[in-house]
Amino acid sequence: MQIRAFGRSDLGRVRESNEDNMVIECPPLPPVGLFVVADGVGGHKHGEIASKMFVDGVQERLRASADAFARYRLDCDREMRDELLHLLEKVVDQAGCSIYKASQDHAQLQGMCTTGVVVVMVDQGVFIAHAGDSRAYLVRGDQTYQLTEDHTLANRFLKDGLINREDLPNFPFTNVLTRSFGSSPHIDIDTLFVQTEAGDRFILCSDGLHNYIEGEELLTMSKGCADGRQFVEQLISAANERGGEDNITVALVEVTSQEEAKAPTVDLNRQIIFLRSLFLFREFNDQELLRVMRIIYTERRARGDVIIKEGTEGNELYILIEGQVDVTLEGEHLVTLGPGAHFGELALIDNTTRSASVSARTEATLLTIVRADFNRLIYEDQVLAVKLLWSFLQNVGGRVRELSIEVKNLNQQLAGFRTFMNRT
Ligand code: CMP
């Protein structure tokens, strides 16, 4: 795998000092590359100290953990991927905690904090951690994916439906962050893993860029400029031409070549399209789907495999991608499910044992979500939780209705049978 990286931090046209900081560490891969952008908050240059402490702290700690990341290969199991996501979360959290401590120990540093987006690049994948409103984007083919979600009051209000996009220019608290490193000893950190592909461009930036350029325009500009270094300069120039009211920092990582994936890969766009086609996730936006994808794992089952056994404890929800499964109860066939169907959700919701057995009628490919991850997702994001639980409810409601019709038909058949027996 080969990568190339470029980056620059610019003062902008209004600010007197640059409170952004970044790290670009781009050795031949494997082992690991590290890219960080941080945007400090706090007057009198203290924001600059916070962002510098963050990038240095992450870099130092990640160097100590580089071996763990270097072991990652695409065919690694999900435990290893989870372990590395947790390791990254811990490293980033410790860097934030040091900022908090410094702000407590030195009166003049009180209140300093910083945003931070961290990308650790390994063989055929990136691990991402972030809090605040600096962003990571992926430009792949004809799509741009915003991989991080802004932790700002404006975004919170948007998600809660209290304001809409048109209200944003007049929203009075655009600068207020709901999460930042250093604001308290520990904060919630979002993490994500994305499989890389040759041709990918990962863009990390502070809000000095994305306040002026985002989404579609980022894609158009990327397509119009093959040279990475020039692309970074064009982005910074465009932000300055439109006002440059804040410091502008851009780090660009390009995956120039990559060996054929050893494990089966599903293109990110196809995964998003597929997940959105599912009843369960149809209300989700791209970022919410990316969060779901973090906790989803693919597994293959052979024909005849018992996936769920009635009466046993259930810890997983399954979504069928390919093949068919039979749902049975005490040996009686209830229904055959095909691609797009999900099963195993009941035990996740009411915490009891499995209500039926499910076995693979044909060879089957499944997406699996483990209960603990599912619960975390729901507790972390209430908007997402409401969407998910609403879909579940509609689905279960549909099943109850189908069952009622079946019971009614059975009752009619039974009544007919009784009449027949009484006559004979
Ligand atoms: P759970 O009880 O967790 O495990 C067995 C699963 O089979 C159950 O969740 C449902 O997802 C699924 N299931 C049970 N009964 C039916 C049915 N009548 N139609 C479709 N799916 C069902």
* Pairing assessment for the beta strands 125-131 and 190-195 based on DSSP bridges: antiparallel
* For residue 372, pLDDT beyond 90: no
pLDDT band for 43, please (50, 70, 90 cuts): low
- At which of 195, 229, 257 does a domain end? 257
Mean pLDDT of 272-292: 76
| Backbone angle region of 409, left / alpha / beta, with phi > 0 → left and psi within -120 to 50 → alpha | alpha
Longest dimension (CA), the chain: 100
Q: Which among 317, 343, 359 is the best mutation to test ligand 1's pocket, defined by most ligand atoms within 8 Å of the CB?
A: 343
Shortest-distance Cα residue to atom 1 of ligand 1: 344
Strand partners, 135: 205
CA of 346 to the centre of ligand 1 (A): 7
Q: Per-residue confidence at 263, pLDDT binned at 50, 70, 90?
A: low
Instruction: Please list, in sequence order, all residues whose beta carbon lies within 8 angstroms of the beta carbon of residue 73, skipping any fewer than 6 positions away.
Output: 123, 124, 262
* Lowest model confidence (mean pLDDT) among 72-76, 170-174, 417-421: 72-76
Which of 223, 257, 291 is at the close of a domain?
257
Q: Same domain, yes or no, for 83 and 181?
A: yes
- Of 29-38, 60-69, 76-85, least confident by mean pLDDT is 76-85
Domain holding 314: CATH number? 2.60.120.10
Task: Tell me the pLDDT band of 227, cut-offs 50, 70 and 90.
Answer: very high
pLDDT confidence of residue 352 = 79
244 lies in the same domain as 319: no
CATH number of the domain to which 120 belongs = 3.60.40.10
310 and 176 part of one domain: no
Given pLDDT bands bounded at 50, 70 and 90, which one contains residue 329? very high
Domain ranges, residue 58: 2-257
The better pLDDT of the pair 151, 392 is held by: 151
Asked whether the predicted pLDDT for residue 169 surpasses 60, the reply is yes
Instruction: Look at the alpha carbons of 151, 153, 154, 159 in this order and tell me if their dihedral is positive or negative.
Output: positive
Per-range mean pLDDT, top range of 31-40, 105-114, 232-241, 264-273: 232-241
Separation of alpha carbons 294 and 288, rounded Å: 10
Q: What is the model's pLDDT at position 29?
A: 66
Pocket test for ligand 1, best of 346, 349, 357 (most atoms within 8 A of CB): 346
- If asked whether residues 92 and 208 sit together in one domain, one would say yes
Q: Are residues 246 and 292 in the same domain?
A: no
Q: Does 388 lie in the same domain as 354? A: yes
pLDDT: which is higher, 291 or 182: 182
Total domains present in the chain: 2
For 213-227, 236-250, 331-345, which range has the lowest pLDDT when averaged over its residues? 331-345
Please state the rounded mean pLDDT for residues 161-173.
82
Q: Which has more pLDDT, 103 or 170?
A: 103
Question: What backbone phi and psi angles, to 5 degrees, belong to 347?
Answer: -65, -25
- Ligand 1 centroid to Cα of residue 342, in Å, is 9
Query: Are 303 and 162 contained in the same domain?
Result: no
Centroid of ligand 1 to alpha carbon of 310 (angstroms): 9
- Whether 416 and 410 have beta carbons less than 8 Å apart is answered as no
Range name among 48-57, 165-174, 211-220, 272-281 with the lowest pLDDT average: 272-281
pLDDT reported for residue 177: 94
**pLDDT of residue 162 exceeding 60:** yes
Q: Of 2, 214, 202, give the one whose Cα is nearest residue 117.
A: 202
CA–centroid distance, 356 to ligand 1, in Å, is 6
pLDDT in tens, 68-122: 888 887 656 677 888 899 999 999 999 999 999 999 999 999 999 999 999 999 9
Kindly indicate the confidence band of residue 220, based on its pLDDT and cuts at 50, 70 and 90.
very high
Q: Give the pair of three-digit tokens for residue 99.
A: 């900022």
Give the residue-averaged pLDDT of 29-57. Answer: 89
Task: Out of 196, 230, 257, pick the residue that ends a domain.
Answer: 257
Tokens representing 396 are: 């279960």
pLDDT of residue 262: 54
pLDDT of 267 strictly over 80: no
Looking up tokens 């072991």 gives 71
Q: How confident is the model at residue 246 (pLDDT cuts 50, 70, 90)?
A: very high
* Listed residue (132, 137, 151) closest to 217, CA to CA: 137
Name the token pair of 415.
């009544």
The 3-state secondary structure of the chain reads CEEEEEEEEECCCCCCCCCEEEEEECCCCCCCEEEEEEEEECCCCHHHHHHHHHHHHHHHHHHHHHHHHHCCCCCCCHHHHHHHHHHHHHHHHHHHHHHHHHHHHCHHHCCCEECEEEEEEECCEEEEEEECCCEEEEEECCEEEECCCCCEHHHHHHHCCCCCHHHHHHCCCCCCECCCECCCCCCCCEEEEEECCCCCEEEEECHHHHCCCCHHHHHHHHHCCCCHHHHHHHHHHHHHHCCCCCCEEEEEEEEEECCCCCCCCCCHHHHHHHHHHCHHHCCCCHHHHHHHHHCEEEEEECCCCEEECCCCECCEEEEEEECCEEEEECCEEEEEECCCCEECHHHHHHCCECCCEEEECCCEEEEEEEHHHHHHHHHHCHHHHHHHHHHHHHHHHHHHHHHHHHHHHHHHHHHHHHHHHHHC
Percent of residues, the chain, with pLDDT higher than 90: 50
The residue nearest atom 12 of ligand 1, judged by CA position, is: 343
Q: How far is the CA of 351 from the centre of ligand 1 (A)?
A: 14
Pocket of ligand 1 (CB under 6 A): 308, 314, 327, 334-335, 343-347, 354-356, 358, 399
* Same structural domain, 99 and 232: yes
In terms of domains, do 139 and 272 share one? no
Q: HSE-up of 380 (CA within 13 Å, CB side)?
A: 15
pLDDT band at 192 (very low <50, low <70, confident <90, very high): confident
What is the reported pLDDT for 56? 97
Best residue for ligand 1 mutational test, from 279, 310, 327, 330 (most atoms within 8 Å of Cβ): 327
Of 173 and 253, which is predicted with more confidence? 253
Please indicate, yes or no, whether residues 34 and 175 belong to a single structural domain of this protein.
yes
Do residues 137 and 146 lie in contact, with contact meaning Cβ atoms separated by under 8 Å? yes
Atom of ligand 1 nearest to the CA of 314: 3
> Which protein residue's CA is at the shortest distance from atom 6 of ligand 1?
344
Q: Give yes or no: residues 146 and 200 share one domain.
A: yes
Structure confidence at residue 70 (pLDDT)? 86
Residues 53 and 78 in one domain: yes
Mutation to probe ligand 1, out of 312, 334, 353 (largest number of atoms < 8 A from CB): 334
